[in-house]
A and B are shown apart, each in its own frame.
Chain A
Amino acid sequence: MQSPSFDFKQDFFQLFGLSQQYRIDNALLDQRYHALQMQVHPDKFSHLSEAERRVSMQWATRVNEAYQTMASPISRARYLLSLQGVDTQEETNTAMPMDFLMQQMEWRDAIEEAQHESDVRALDQMELRLQHEMRELQQKIAAKIDDEHDYAMAAESVRKLKFMEKIVEEIATAFDAIDH
């Protein structure tokens, strides 16, 4: 089978016709995502030849991947930094400031306690606070990448965001455990 020849050299920002920066207009991204899928989705090709259906599936898969990367604040940052040749080292670089790590431990203890006491309200509040802190971190990432071009600092914030995402997942697991 020959490899697809369509223009995968285009980066995701070009694909959606957005300028290459962290701050994006999410409504515009959604609108362009829909416009692209309207053209490439397999449902538009199911009555056509196998060759067209195959190309459609490759494109629709690609557009979904691109949208997913662009819509998520953490993966958009990771992707943007990779285009600048910066690896966020989320798996290898786990060195974090001491106060950040202490805070993580406090979060975990609080989640465990809330789960133990089936305190849904406490979990709700923690989720809200976390979301607030994550938004602040995203603003910091935006400033580091778009304004200051300080990619190393941005990468550290991405690593912090990753830690916090894991805590949000733990809250979800705690909700599930209480639900059972």
Chain B
Amino acid sequence: MALLQISEPGLSTAPHEHRLAVGIDLGTTNSLVATVRNGISVVLNDADGRALLPSVVRYFPDGSVQVGVAAQEMQSEDPVNTIISVKRFMGRGLSDIGDISSVPYRFVDASSTGSGQAPGMVQLRTAAGIKSPVEVSAEILKVLHARAEAALGGELVGAVIAVPAYFDDAQRQATKDAAKLAGLNVLRLLNEPTAAAIAYGLDNASEGVYAVYDLGGGTFDISILKLTRGVFEVLATNGNSALGGDDFDHRIYCWLLEMNNLSALGAQDARQLLTRSRAAKEELTDHAGTRITAILSNGEAIDTLLKQQDFQAMSQNLVTHTLQPVRRALRDAGLKVEDIKGVVMVGGATRMPLVQHAVAEFFKQTPLTNLDPDKVVALGAAIQANVLAGNRSADDWLLLDVIPLSLSIETMGGLTEKIIPRNSTIPTARAQEFTTFKDGQTAMSIHVVQGERELVSDCRSLARFELRGIPPMVAGSARIRITFQVDADGMLNVTARELVHGVEAAIAVKPSYGLSDDEIMRMLQDSNQHAQEDMQARALREQQVEAEQLLEAVQNALLQDGATLLDEAAQGRILTCMNELRAVLETADHAAVKRAIIKLNDATVPFAQARMDKSVAHALSGRKLTELSLD
């Protein structure tokens, strides 16, 4: 292994290989994977040339799984074991699912399965056993993962996964966990409307304030973005994570039942009519009317005409429902409709003429639809993935996103106290001091919720943090500083420190709707039993990949700045740690590799800080240069 790479004259840096990275749109109805090839973002098709993978997963008694078109075709035959729109259940409890009778699944209340983490994420009883929505989503991601590696001919460095902007912490965590189960390294969770804005903005080199109206199969997002010289800055976001195209299908379905005097349908008939309802909705995109026909299991024939105006009448208030978050987002951004330069439409449901009319009327302009609303999110996610993987791109651009919902802690009397307000640019942090209220108290509990309401019971419970190991003191004399950090994925991390003695307090997290580490581990093991993969071997391979990336990154950093920022002794310490890591890499001891990685990381912290100081100084000096040229 060469320590120094000699570049050809004229090449400023060592040529480095293109790292394979993808963007994934894990949709309620359909999912897609895209990548940047030769500088252009493209959607990757399956062997049959299809871009869209229906987000449908069917489970069989022998434990095998079918995903996509094949599963979708059989959904009316086997509705109980064929899961559609699983995204609606991600990070959600049983009580969140509005009308349980309208879906055929056998739900399991997670709080009754012994994990004891009431309320808990809902689970589904299938022919292949009890499945968490996280596992179902992982099956979809596995198919996309395999499709991408087959198309690109190599192992992926990682993936950017798009999530609805209005997803809360539990829904984001569930998505990350699903990716982990599917063996994907998540480079970033990217908000869907922001992904769409990247795909549009970089294409059109636009400047100004844009609104992204994203109505997907099961979620609605509105984001207001400002584009200035390569910076995509989200000013405000709002939405409804339980409103989407599915609801329009359901309106048609209910109307069908009413028109035909039907009640209490079996699961198969219900799924059949729901599928027909969806087809009718799509038909109405460019037809004034459509016939809905079906033959029920009792032989009864359904033949009903649905006219555009009837569909409009029954679903108008769903569209109206989307405009309320739009008004809020505008108000939060401090803007009026007249300030919006363009409106980008995202999501298959925005093809509905009544949606397009309502949006055009509200914004007083024709919305932009020149990119395929089904593909635009995956295309944008791929562009972001390419940058995050470290592939150089021609244009230097930056994304500044926000947290969609306020984070609060529970105070006396079940009230909330805001820690981080909604629409704060991420990453962001807030430290707060707490004290003990009893003599000798060594532990305390903090309940974190997400939402805008004043009562804890009206917000979403995220987690309870138990702090232990506080040194015993007189009541009120302990000072515990708790830091709430929201990272660039929009996810919360909590750390605590007791300030009087300077001890790090241990934090035990009880996620309200998430999965525990043990559950994730069990699911990983379950899924690998079928894949015949050895857990040890997998852990080792992951560590080896991480070690190689780390070595490469440190080596590049040393080449760039080692001589100028570090003295010989400091360089020597880092080189020693690098050599130690290289040495253990030859062994098959993944624990030793992990220790050496941590050691090398720790050894490079001061160097990383010095490099950052240099970058910041560079940013400021660059600014002075432009000022000079302006004068």
Binding site for B on A (CB under 8 A): 1-2, 4-7, 17, 30-32, 34-43, 46-52, 54-57, 59-61, 64-65, 67-68, 172, 175-176, 179-180
- By the criterion CB–CB under 8 Å, are A55 and B327 in contact? no
- By the criterion CB–CB under 8 Å, are A64 and B428 in contact? yes
B interface, over-half SS? helix
Partner of A36, one of B384, B608, B609, B616: B616
What would 29 A/B residue contacts be, using CB atoms closer than 8 Å?
A4-B609, A5-B606, A31-B623, A38-B398, A39-B612, A39-B616, A39-B619, A40-B612, A41-B488, A42-B427, A43-B399, A46-B188, A47-B390, A47-B549, A48-B390, A52-B553, A52-B557, A52-B604, A52-B608, A52-B611, A56-B612, A57-B427, A57-B488, A59-B616, A61-B427, A64-B424, A68-B425, A172-B331, A175-B327
Residue of A nearest to B612 (CB): A55
Residue of A nearest to B336 (CB): A124
- Known contacts A34-B229, A43-B384; 11 additional CB pairs below 8 A are A6-B609, A32-B619, A40-B615, A42-B487, A43-B387, A46-B390, A47-B388, A57-B427, A57-B485, A172-B331, A175-B327
Query: Does B575 count as interface, using CB distance less than 8 angstroms?
Result: no
Chain A CB count within 10 A is highest, among B388, B606, B616, for B616
- By the criterion CB–CB under 8 Å, are A54 and B605 in contact? yes
**Inside 8 A of A38's CB, which chain B residues have their CB?**
231, 396, 398, 619
- By the criterion CB–CB under 8 Å, are B398 and A34 in contact? yes
**Inside 8 A of A67's CB, which chain B residues have their CB?**
425
**Inside 8 A of B187's CB, which chain A residues have their CB?**
46
- By the criterion CB–CB under 8 Å, are A50 and B399 in contact? no
Residue of A nearest to B398 (CB): A38
**Inside 8 A of B399's CB, which chain A residues have their CB?**
41, 43
- By the criterion CB–CB under 8 Å, are B188 and A43 in contact? yes
> Could you tell me the distance in whole angstroms from the C-beta of A100 to the nearest C-beta in chain B?
25
A50 to B597, CA, bound (A): 9
**Inside 8 A of A51's CB, which chain B residues have their CB?**
601-602, 604-605, 607-608
> Could you tell me the distance in whole angstroms from the C-beta of A175 to the nearest C-beta in chain B?
7
- By the criterion CB–CB under 8 Å, are A46 and B388 in contact? yes
- By the criterion CB–CB under 8 Å, are A59 and B612 in contact? yes
Partner of A42, one of B328, B488, B604: B488
A48 to B429, CA, bound (A): 22
**Inside 8 A of B492's CB, which chain A residues have their CB?**
none
A67 to B557, CA, bound (A): 29
- By the criterion CB–CB under 8 Å, are B429 and A65 in contact? yes
**Inside 8 A of A49's CB, which chain B residues have their CB?**
550, 553-554, 557, 600-601, 604, 608
Partner of A176, one of B328, B426, B623: B328
Query: Does B582 count as interface, using CB distance less than 8 angstroms?
Result: no
**Inside 8 A of B618's CB, which chain A residues have their CB?**
39
**Inside 8 A of B387's CB, which chain A residues have their CB?**
43
A98 to B103, CA, bound (A): 61
**Inside 8 A of A1's CB, which chain B residues have their CB?**
504
> Could you tell me the distance in whole angstroms from the C-beta of A29 to the nearest C-beta in chain B?
12
Chain B CB count within 10 A is highest, among A5, A17, A61, for A61
A51 to B399, CA, bound (A): 22
Partner of B620, one of A17, A43, A55, A172: A17
> Could you tell me the distance in whole angstroms from the C-beta of A13 to the nearest C-beta in chain B?
13
Within 8 A of A (CB), among B588-618: 600-602, 604-609, 611-613, 615-616, 618
Contact A43:B388 (CB < 8 A) given known A48-B557, A64-B428: yes
A57 to B616, CA, bound (A): 14
Query: Does B143 count as interface, using CB distance less than 8 angstroms?
Result: no
- By the criterion CB–CB under 8 Å, are A30 and B228 in contact? yes
- By the criterion CB–CB under 8 Å, are B612 and A6 in contact? yes
Residue of A nearest to B550 (CB): A49
A180 to B453, CA, bound (A): 14
Partner of A47, one of B327, B389, B424, B619: B389
The 8 A CB mask of B46-64 against A (1 = contact, 0 = none) is 0000000000000000000
**Inside 8 A of B604's CB, which chain A residues have their CB?**
49, 51-52
A179 to B157, CA, bound (A): 46
Residue of B nearest to A34 (CB): B231
Contact A57:B487 (CB < 8 A) given known A17-B623, A38-B396: yes
Within 8 A of A (CB), among B488-525: 488, 504
Within 8 A of A (CB), among B366-405: 384, 387-390, 396, 398-400
**Inside 8 A of B605's CB, which chain A residues have their CB?**
2, 51, 54-55
Closest 3 CB pairs of A and B: A47-B390, A39-B615, A51-B608
- By the criterion CB–CB under 8 Å, are A37 and B398 in contact? yes
Query: Does B324 count as interface, using CB distance less than 8 angstroms?
Result: yes
- By the criterion CB–CB under 8 Å, are B619 and A60 in contact? no
A2 to B604, CA, bound (A): 12
Query: Does B147 count as interface, using CB distance less than 8 angstroms?
Result: no
A154 to B622, CA, bound (A): 35
- By the criterion CB–CB under 8 Å, are B623 and A179 in contact? no
Query: Does B19 count as interface, using CB distance less than 8 angstroms?
Result: yes
Residue of B nearest to A4 (CB): B609
Residue of B nearest to A7 (CB): B613
Contact A34:B615 (CB < 8 A) given known A46-B187, A47-B19, A65-B429: no
The 8 A CB mask of B402-423 against A (1 = contact, 0 = none) is 0000000000000000000000
A41 to B387, CA, bound (A): 12
- By the criterion CB–CB under 8 Å, are B400 and A37 in contact? yes
> Could you tell me the distance in whole angstroms from the C-beta of B601 to the nearest C-beta in chain A?
5
**Inside 8 A of B485's CB, which chain A residues have their CB?**
57, 61
**Inside 8 A of B400's CB, which chain A residues have their CB?**
37, 41
Partner of A48, one of B553, B623, B624: B553
- By the criterion CB–CB under 8 Å, are B424 and A68 in contact? yes
